[in-house]
Amino acid sequence: MLEIQDCCLAVVDVQGKLAQLMVDKETLVKNVRILIQAARILDLPLLWCQQVPEALGPTVPEIAELLTGTRVEGVPPSNRGHELAPAQAGDARDTRVWEPGAPINKASFSCCGQEQFNAELNALGKEQVLLCGIETHVCIYQTAMDLMEGGLDVTIVADAVSSRTEQNRHLALTRLAAEGAHISSTEMALFELLKTAKHPHFKEIAPLVK
């Protein structure tokens, strides 16, 4: 089960013209926005990635306007490669500052191929990662596989990921489920985090999915 204290959200490559080519792009953007807003309410740390933005363009404005200022500050240097092990005692963690401009730019399809992503994730010390973004069969798939190899619990938010074809999206989700990733939806994941209608943030979260 997803737990607020153990969880972070990674928003992957919802950029430029590529985002416009996604299957059901309107639902994709809507649900990624909901997840980001919910993460703010629940104080879930956010990691924001972009794939070669000089070629694909920046994150689409509807998403970027909610993400500005999500970088982790005070991240210790990482010498753990792609292990993605929890931060050790004395490491900086949960020291986010809300400053303008915060994407982690990468060339590798997996976010874990970018050392800055690994360092920031390690600094958070979280055991669960919610993944949303594009494309399901490339960057989401490879990131999820690397995160699971590193021992992390990964949930793919199926209605907040997409590909240029439904076949590729479906194939990736099927493969990820078989490999041990959890497949969820935006509403399912949020209510799983809340656990109860008596949660202090229930009245803020519920309208996001209605």
- Segment 183-198, tens digit of pLDDT: 999 999 999 999 999 9
Of 139, 146, 153, 159, catalytic: 139
Distance of CA 156 to the CA centre of its chain: 9
- More confident position, 130 or 71: 130
pTM of the model: 0.86
| pLDDT tens for each residue of 12-53 | 999 998 999 999 999 999 999 999 999 999 999 999 999 999
Mean of all residue pLDDT scores within the chain:
88
Per the structure, the count of domains in the chain is: 1
Choice among 79-88, 151-160, 201-210 with the minimum mean pLDDT: 79-88
Share of the chain above pLDDT 90, in %: 82
139 noted as active-site residue: yes
Of 7, 13, 146, 159, catalytic: 13
Supply the pLDDT for residue 68.
83
Domain extent, residue 170, equals 4-209
Q: CATH number of the domain that 121 lies in?
A: 3.40.50.850
Whether pLDDT at 88 is above 70: no
Of 8, 106, 112, 132, catalytic: 106
106 noted as active-site residue: yes
Whether pLDDT at 63 is above 90: yes
